[in-house]
A and B are shown apart, each in its own frame.
Chain A
Amino acid sequence: MIRRHFTAGLVTTGLVGFGAASLPALAQAQTVPVGAIEILSGPAAAYGIAIKGGLDLALDEINQKGVLGGKKIALTVEDSAADKNQAINAARKLIGRDKVVAIIGPTLSNEMFAVGPVTNERKIPTIGTSTTANGITDIGPYIFRTSLPEADVVPVTFKKAQARGVKTVALMYANDDAFSKSGFDVMKAAAEKLGLNILAIESFGTKDTDFAAQLTKIKGLKPDAVAISALVEPVSGVLLQARQLGFGKETLFIGGNGSNSPKLGAIAGAAADGLIVGSPWFIGKPDALNQKFVAAFKAKYGKDPDQFAAQAYDCMFILAAAIDRAGAADSEKITAALAKTSYTGVMGPFTFTDHRDPASAEGVVVLEMRDGKFGIAP
């Protein structure tokens, strides 16, 4: 349903809209054009829709006061449908036709690898809010991200596991998407660094439904923990089948960023109990800023925000503040201002490293699944 509304709004942004290119020039005095490229249709639409929700909510608050002394930010969200070419087309349109001064997104790391070189060439600052793979900011000096890379989150989770007495671990991952694969690379490095003994490494496909062969093999090796890097659907499948094959409380299940979704409890139910996962954000974080965000999100959309919405919400504020500090709607100045960001949002205090990644992983909390819901892990 939500998707229909979006697409209706996007109809005019095609080729035919090019004739209107001169119109934004008139309006430019009053507004600052900003673009976003997110997945609003197709199987991965849930991520993009959550992000758009966070961006729009932040924009409502920002535009009450405006930036640069009262100008409103005009946000154009383009749909990438998780398709590389559609994402590149969107970036080119946002820059060439809509003359945006900055771009938020795209949603997936793979899309960023295709879009980043294009925006970087035109010197348009581009901020990923959900791109967690390694090497994103290596694309060029105009590529930023506010999402904590997995490399910062996973070690925190593994330390928690080690504190609970885990000495041996088996790793499982989906080998056919970039997100899961780079999450696995990080898990392997973290386990090696902490001196955990890796007993087995098993892979599967994101769309697989049968994991019995891999799980039977792992069960025979009796690891203290099984760490899984994959999107939430296959993780749920793994957990359900693991319980059928007789994995009990003695084995700790550890999730990557993909498991950090309320859907895990909804699909896997009791089978997910006891799984721990690191998260840059938690809905129950008690500080006033976060509670206000959660309440506002619920009021506007009638559902709980997830980490993607929270990350996008902060990112919009970070960008708005950078535009203000830049003193003009100018991409070069905004890029320079972004690099000097110091902001406290719902995720906690935020600054960029010299390499345009988030500087601190202090905000990371380890969550544990109990009765279908995440809570702070004891």
Chain B
Amino acid sequence: MFAQQLVNGVLLGATYALFALGFTLMFGVLRVINLTYGFYFSAGAFIALFLTRQAGFGIWAALPVAAMGAGAVAVALDWLLLSRLRRVNAPELSSLMVTLGGVLALYSAATSILGPDIRRLPPDLVASDAFVLAGLRVTTAQLLILLATAVMVGALMALMRGTRLGLAIRAMAEKPDAAGLMGIDTGRLAALVSFISGCLAGAGGVLIGLNFNAIHPYMGEAMMLRGFVVIIVGGLGDIRGALIAGLLLGVIEVFTAGYVASGLKEAVAFAILVVVLWTRPSGLFGRAVVRRA
């Protein structure tokens, strides 16, 4: 049972990490706690729902289209809500507030249009039977999440460290004004970072919706609170930190529910948050990677 619980914890943690990747990237580069992020997650899941249910797409076709659709939503919302504030160098809290208002309006509007019901992707989209390996059970959807998390972390790290684009993004994260003077088009770069974050969120929404059989307008909000914990504990803007913090949180939550009391599962995440804020407010792993490297 211990081994199965560990597997459960890692799988849950992978969903948290998958969710938090784009969130922490967005903060690291654009320096904004963008609360509309949760909505991209819901948007990705709903686009995939439409594609698979109405347009007959398979999962491999639906996943990239949904991810890019969510990316487009992210760019549009960034332009609508944040580009203006960036131009006038508004205080950080203005951006937080504007996205807070925006996400409340978006969730409520989505709920009144789409209805609050929980929907699921077609059950035959991926094989729903679990693989049994040495007594441990893992489903196809769960393997997909592990794989996707690994691929995305790897690709993001490679992008940041090994390409000119990554260099420009890091420059912008470090000193936006200086980057602008050096000829980097910060407006376009911001849109690009929004797009990448949106794609990550959208892909996460599809896979997590698939895994938990639950797609509804507020699904992003439910993940958002865990997302905060992951990006604060991992360090704002730290991609590797988000991965480690996500996995840790998943394992701790599962062990709390499995061996202490299931009622405490929710509280433990925020208890960790408070302890980290008290002791290591810059995150467990120090300074942010995108800003440092």
List chain A positions with a Cβ less than 8 A from chain B: 42-43, 45, 175, 202-205, 207, 209-210, 212-214, 216-217, 219-220, 233, 236-237, 240-241, 244-246, 267, 269
B291 within 8 A of A: no
Known: A175-B263, A212-B8. A237 touches B123 (CB 8 A): no
Instruction: Tell me, rounded to whole Å, the shortest Cβ–Cβ distance linking A235 to chain B.
Output: 11
| List of A residues within 8 angstroms of B12 by Cβ | 210, 212-213
Report whether B137 and A244 are in contact in the complex, using a CB–CB cutoff of 8 Å.
Answer: yes
Query: How would residues 205 to 217 of chain B score, 1 for a CB under 8 Å from any chain A CB and 0 otherwise?
Result: 0001000111000
Instruction: Tell me, rounded to whole Å, the shortest Cβ–Cβ distance linking B130 to chain A.
Output: 5
Report whether A216 and B262 are in contact in the complex, using a CB–CB cutoff of 8 Å.
Answer: no
| List of B residues within 8 angstroms of A212 by Cβ | 8, 11-12, 254
Report whether A216 and B8 are in contact in the complex, using a CB–CB cutoff of 8 Å.
Answer: yes
What are 5 A-B contacts with C-beta separation under 8 Å?
A43-B111, A213-B5, A213-B258, A245-B4, A245-B137
Instruction: Tell me, rounded to whole Å, the shortest Cβ–Cβ distance linking A2 to chain B.
Output: 11
Give Cα A70–Cα B254 distance, bound, in whole angstroms.
64
Specify which of A43, A204, A219, A246 is in contact with B262 (CB 8 Å cutoff).
A204
Give Cα A282–Cα B210 distance, bound, in whole angstroms.
33
Specify which of B214, B222, B257 is in contact with A237 (CB 8 Å cutoff).
B214
The residues in B between 97 and 111 inclusive whose CB is less than 8 angstroms from any CB of A are: 111
B92 within 8 A of A: no
| List of A residues within 8 angstroms of B1 by Cβ | 216-217, 219-220
| List of A residues within 8 angstroms of B219 by Cβ | 209
| List of B residues within 8 angstroms of A45 by Cβ | 116
Specify which of B128, B130, B212, B263 is in contact with A210 (CB 8 Å cutoff).
B212
The residues in B between 222 and 279 inclusive whose CB is less than 8 angstroms from any CB of A are: 222, 253-258, 262-263, 265-266
Give Cα A28–Cα B181 distance, bound, in whole angstroms.
78
Give Cα A209–Cα B262 distance, bound, in whole angstroms.
14
Helix, strand, loop or mixed for chain B's interface?
helix
Give Cα A233–Cα B130 distance, bound, in whole angstroms.
22
Give Cα A207–Cα B212 distance, bound, in whole angstroms.
12
Give Cα A110–Cα B219 distance, bound, in whole angstroms.
25
Closest to B116 in A: A43
Give Cα A202–Cα B257 distance, bound, in whole angstroms.
8
Give Cα A132–Cα B37 distance, bound, in whole angstroms.
39
Helix, strand, loop or mixed for chain A's interface?
helix
Ranked 9 nearest A-B pairs via Cβ: A209-B212, A213-B257, A43-B116, A212-B8, A213-B254, A220-B1, A213-B258, A202-B262, A233-B118
B163 within 8 A of A: no
Closest to A214 in B: B262
Give Cα A244–Cα B212 distance, bound, in whole angstroms.
11
Give Cα A144–Cα B8 distance, bound, in whole angstroms.
46
| List of A residues within 8 angstroms of B256 by Cβ | 213
| List of B residues within 8 angstroms of A269 by Cβ | 123
Give Cα A202–Cα B253 distance, bound, in whole angstroms.
14
Report whether A267 and B118 are in contact in the complex, using a CB–CB cutoff of 8 Å.
Answer: yes
Report whether B5 and A246 are in contact in the complex, using a CB–CB cutoff of 8 Å.
Answer: no
| List of B residues within 8 angstroms of A241 by Cβ | 212
The residues in B between 105 and 127 inclusive whose CB is less than 8 angstroms from any CB of A are: 111, 116, 118, 120, 123
| List of B residues within 8 angstroms of A175 by Cβ | 263
Instruction: Tell me, rounded to whole Å, the shortest Cβ–Cβ distance linking B149 to chain A.
Output: 16
| List of B residues within 8 angstroms of A236 by Cβ | 118, 213
Closest to A204 in B: B262
Report whether B128 and A216 are in contact in the complex, using a CB–CB cutoff of 8 Å.
Answer: no
Instruction: Tell me, rounded to whole Å, the shortest Cβ–Cβ distance linking A353 to chain B.
Output: 34
Instruction: Tell me, rounded to whole Å, the shortest Cβ–Cβ distance linking B262 to chain A.
Output: 5
B94 within 8 A of A: no
| List of A residues within 8 angstroms of B254 by Cβ | 212-213
| List of A residues within 8 angstroms of B257 by Cβ | 202, 213-214, 217
Report whether B265 and A213 are in contact in the complex, using a CB–CB cutoff of 8 Å.
Answer: yes
| List of A residues within 8 angstroms of B266 by Cβ | 205
Instruction: Tell me, rounded to whole Å, the shortest Cβ–Cβ distance linking A23 to chain B.
Output: 32
| List of B residues within 8 angstroms of A267 by Cβ | 118, 120, 213
Instruction: Tell me, rounded to whole Å, the shortest Cβ–Cβ distance linking B22 to chain A.
Output: 20
Specify which of A207, A213, A219, A233 is in contact with B253 (CB 8 Å cutoff).
A213
| List of B residues within 8 angstroms of A209 by Cβ | 208, 212-214, 219, 222
Query: How would residues 182 to 225 of chain B score, 1 for a CB under 8 Å from any chain A CB and 0 otherwise?
Result: 00000000000000000000000000100011100011001000
| List of B residues within 8 angstroms of A213 by Cβ | 5, 8-9, 12, 253-258, 262, 265
Give Cα A63–Cα B94 distance, bound, in whole angstroms.
58
